Amino acid sequence: MYRRLLEFLLPYKGKLFVAVICMVILAACTATLAWALQPMLDEVLSGKNKTYIYMMPIGIIILYLIKGTAYYGQASLMAYIGQRIIYDIRKKIYNQLTSQSLSFFTHRKTGELLGRITYDVTLLQSAVSTTVTSLMRDIMSIIFLLGVIFYQDWLLALFALIVFPIMVYPLVRFGQRMRKASYNGQVAMGNMSSLVEETVGGMRVVKAFGMETYERKRFKEITKDFMTHQVRALKVQALSFPVMELVAGIGIAGVILYGGLRVASGEATAGMLMSFIVSLLMLYDPVRRLSRANNEIQQGLAAAERIFDILDTHIEVKDALNPLPIKPFKESIVFENVSLTYPQASRAVLRGIDLRVKSGEVVALVGRSGAGKTTLANMVLRFMDPSSGTIYLDGTNLRDIAQADLRAEMALVTQEIVLFNDTVLHNIAYGHEDIDREKVIAIAKIANAHEFIEKLEQGYDTLVGERGVILSGGQRQRLSLARALLKDAPILVLDEATSSLDTESERLVQQAIDKLMQGRTVIVIAHRLSTIRHADKIVVLDQGKIVQSGSHNDLLEEGGIYAELHQLQFEDN
Ligand SMILES: Nc1ncnc2c1ncn2[C@@H]1O[C@H](COP(=O)(O)OP(=O)(O)O)[C@@H](O)[C@H]1O
Ligand SMILES: [Mg+2]
């Protein structure tokens, strides 16, 4: 783990080295200033030495200049390194996330992934910076300051060192309690975000079921939980300060008593004593930070574990090392004895699928809900690889084709429409770098979308809101059809594109679909069988197997599931 963390620091080792040098200089300056109190009191302020009166102030100014420069140097360098690490890790996580196959996301919560890319990364960065800063700067300061107190009065120094461990003990205890409280606080915070995300996203359902009070109560309990832990942590913090001061005060009182006696007997000077006490006080900060560093390092390690968990997740669908180039689609898509079992599932959802979709054909997939239609359609786009068997595009195994090349040949329209919080124009032209406005409008007209877009507040430049909330289901679907039309891919996959629409929208959408299908190879899953009766081939799936295939008339004659489903819909109408 430590080695992997160091890897993030490695690219910045030059900067890190300079930062560490600055830290050493900084610690040396601090100690020198504490040491300088002795000549200042004994030589300058006692008026004994005239040259010192002029030399000391100049020396002090120079020392502060060096100290300031070193401080700025280490602080700004560490800030840069810290932020760069955040940047690097975030980029890495996001790249990893976007490379994952779809099945990765079925088992993850958005909020949790979000937490890792925001919160955990920050924790990790702070742990890395703290480790470096504390281990370097604070340990240096401690060594130098200890040097000063031993130089000034080694006997007194030994005495002070007895007091020190007594100071450190409560520090450690407070640290433990803080850690527990802040850990519990984090858990509560996570619960809070999940709840907000879930209820805001599902506000319609929350309201429709009159669950506002219930959700408020749940939220109240969680925030209260968070508050309790926060208050506990802050109280520990509030207590730790006076306790520490008291312990330090007792220590100083002891030093003054013992030191005072030594000054009185002429064994030490006032300057020595002063320099000694100040050095001792200055030791307090680095020691405290060092003990706290452990907390942050522990938190950071936990965060690192969660981050590595994502970075290490095996990517299921991966491009081959040397993907084969493909020509524009012209022959067929072939499934050869394809089976699929979803990860973490016990039963196969597709079993022994043999299917040929010839270029220019319209092939419809029919079957009861849960039969495996969507899964089969997803496999054409290689959202997952077969557990056994092979899928070919024009004779090339899908595994040997770069995903980008493969998907460039295909357009997908599904029941759940994904719109991004952007303008209508950009949503239609999703994936296009240069947007040809005229072309988008022409396409929108074909998709029966132009008319309603015109009526929007800012036409094509209207923002559609998160997930397209300002549009109706039918309007959203027509935008997604326009998007598919603009992509103009030879293969079209339609997964229940009209299922969630009312009859009027369905008619408009169906018209658009018919235009979209022209001249393309189509794999269509349709809820309403009347829309696919003219398909070249109808394939009936049941429990993951192809049980029938043929034309509408053949299948009706044959009887079986297709005839049953047809009969059911016929009765409905
Ligand atoms: N990501 C998944 N992980 C595990 N099981 C899944 C997943 N997606 C779908 N399934 C299961 O696979 C079966 C087929 O689903 P699906 O292909 O969506 O059917 P259809 O589209 O025909 O309604 C269902 O039993 C469903 O519960
Ligand atoms: Mg489906």
Sorted by sequence, the CB contacts under 8 Å of residue 110 that are 6+ apart come out as 197
Quickly state the pLDDT bin for 422 (edges 50, 70, 90): confident
Taking the centre of ligand 2 as the mean of its atom positions, its distance from the CA of residue 19, in whole angstroms, is 58
The residues lining ligand 1, judged by C-beta closer than 6 Å to any ligand atom, are 103, 106, 342, 345, 349, 367, 369-375
Share of residues in the chain with pLDDT > 90 (%) = 35
Give the pLDDT confidence score for residue 66 in this predicted structure: 96
How many A from CA of 541 to the centre of ligand 2? Answer: 12
Q: How far is the CA of 232 from the centre of ligand 2 (A)?
A: 50
DSSP string of 379-424, one letter each residue:
HHTTSS--SEEEEEETTEEGGGB-HHHHHHTEEEEESS----SSBH
pLDDT at residue 292 tops 80: no
342-371 per-position pLDDT tens digit: 888 889 999 999 999 999 999 999 999 999
Ligand 1 mean position to 194 CA, how many Å? Answer: 25
Phi-psi region of 397 (alpha: psi -120 to 50; beta: other; left: phi over 0): beta
What SS3 class is residue 495? strand
SS3 state of residue 559: coil
Domain locations in the chain as residue ranges: 2-311, 332-572
Tell me which residue has its CA closest to atom 4 in ligand 1.
342
User: Which residues, 6 or more positions from 513, have their beta carbon under 8 angstroms from its beta carbon?
Assistant: 413, 481, 494, 497, 498, 531
Would you give the end-to-end CA distance of the chain in angstroms? Answer: 64
CA angle 528, 529, 532 (to 5 degrees): 110
> How far away, in angstroms, is 81 Cα from ligand 1 center?
46
HSE-up (13 A, CA, CB side) for residue 512: 32
Supply 315's token pair. Answer: 């990517």
**Per-residue pLDDT at 142 exceeds 70:** yes
d(CA 399, CA 98): 18
pTM of model > 0.75: no
Kindly indicate the confidence band of residue 514, based on its pLDDT and cuts at 50, 70 and 90: confident
Q: Give the pLDDT band (50/70/90) at residue 56.
A: confident
**The amino acid at 247:** V
Poorest-pLDDT segment among 119-128, 155-164, 476-485, 517-526:
155-164
Q: State the distance from the centre of ligand 1 to the C-alpha of 498, rounded, in angstroms.
A: 19
pLDDT on residue 378: 93
Q: How many residues does the chain have?
A: 573
Measured from the Cα of 371, ligand 1's closest atom is 22
Contacts of residue 108, Cβ cutoff 8 Å, sequence gap at least 6: none
Per-residue pLDDT at 37 exceeds 80: yes
Determine what percent of the chain is predicted with pLDDT higher than 70: 99
Number of the ligand closest to the Cα of 495:
2
Give the number of whichever ligand sits closest to the CA of residue 107.
1
Question: Residue 375: nearest ligand to its CA?
Answer: 1
CA of 341 to the centre of ligand 1 (A): 10
At 218, list the tokens: 């749940």
CA–CA dist 369, 372 (Å, integer) = 8
Specify burial of residue 284 (Cβ count, 10 A radius: 0-12, 13-18, 19+). middle
Instruction: Fill in the DSSP letter of residue 443.
Output: H
Quick one: which atom of ligand 1 is closest to the CA of 495? Answer: 21
Q: Is the pLDDT of residue 248 over 80?
A: no
184: buried, middle or exposed (CB in 10 Å: 19+, 13-18, 0-12)? middle
φ, ψ at 262 (rounded to 5°) = -70, -40
Give 332's strand partners: 358
Please give the pLDDT value at position 357.
Answer: 95
Distance CA 519, CA 533 (A): 18
* Candidate from 375, 415, 494, 500 with most ligand 1 atoms within 8 A of CB, to mutate: 375
> Which of 111-115, 121-125, 259-263, 510-514 has the weakest average pLDDT?
111-115
Please compute the mean of the pLDDT values over residues 50-62 and round it to a whole number: 87
Question: Tell me, what's the pLDDT at 164?
Answer: 66
Residue 478 CB contacts under 8 Å (≥ 6 apart), including other chains: 447, 448, 449, 452, 508, 509, 512
* Residue 314 backbone dihedrals phi, psi, to 5 degrees: -65, 130
List own/partner pairs for 280-285 with CB under 8 A and 24 or more apart. Answer: 280/145, 280/149, 280/160, 280/251, 280/252, 280/255, 281/248, 281/252, 282/30, 282/34, 282/141, 282/145, 283/141, 283/142, 283/145, 283/146, 283/149, 283/164, 284/167, 284/244, 284/248, 285/141
Mutate to test the pocket of ligand 1, among 338, 342, 376 (most ligand atoms within 8 A of CB): 342
| Mean pLDDT (whole number) for 386-398 | 95
Round to whole Å and give the CA distance between 219 and 555.
55
User: What's the pLDDT score for residue 127?
Assistant: 82
Q: What is the pLDDT of residues 548-568, one digit of tens each?
A: 999 999 998 998 888 988 888
pLDDT at 286: 85
Flag whether pLDDT at 511 surpasses 90: no
Q: Of 175-179, 257-261, 339-343, where does mean pLDDT reach its minimum?
A: 175-179
In which band, very low, low, confident or very high, does the pLDDT at 43 lie, cut at 50, 70 and 90?
A: confident
What pLDDT, on the 0 to 100 scale, is given for residue 572?
Answer: 67
Q: Structure tokens of 9?
A: 């620091």
Atom of ligand 1 nearest to the CA of 376: 17
Predicted local distance difference test score (pLDDT) of residue 361: 94
Atom 24 of ligand 1: nearest residue by CA position: 370
- Residues 191-247: tens digit of each pLDDT: 888 788 888 888 888 888 888 899 999 999 999 988 998 898 888 878 877 887 887
What is the CA 554 to chain-centroid distance, rounded?
Answer: 52
- pLDDT for 259 equals 82
- DSSP letters for 305-351: HHHHHHHTSPPSS---SSPBP-PSP-SEEEEEEEEE--TT-SS-SEE
Task: Kindly indicate whether the domain formed by 2-311 is annotated with CATH number 1.20.200.10.
Answer: no
Q: Whose CA is nearest to atom 20 of ligand 1?
A: 370
CATH number assigned to the domain with residue range 332-572, chosen from the 4 options 3.40.50.300, 3.90.1310.10, 3.40.190.290, 3.40.50.1010:
3.40.50.300
The larger pLDDT score, comparing residue 57 to residue 336, is at 336
The per-residue pLDDT for 65 is: 96
d(CA 150, CA 35): 11
Atom of ligand 1 nearest to the CA of 373: 22
- 291 burial level (CB within 10 Å; 0-12, 13-18, 19+): middle
Ligand 1 atom nearest to 365, measured from its CA: 22
For ligand 2, the distance from its centroid to the CA atom of residue 386, given in whole angstroms, is 18
Query: How many A from CA of 481 to the centre of ligand 2?
Result: 18
pLDDT score of 504 more than 70: yes
Q: Are 184 and 229 in contact (CB under 8 A)?
A: yes
Which pLDDT tens digit goes with each residue over 473-496? 888 888 888 998 898 899 999 998
- pLDDT score at 573: 61
pLDDT at site 254? 82
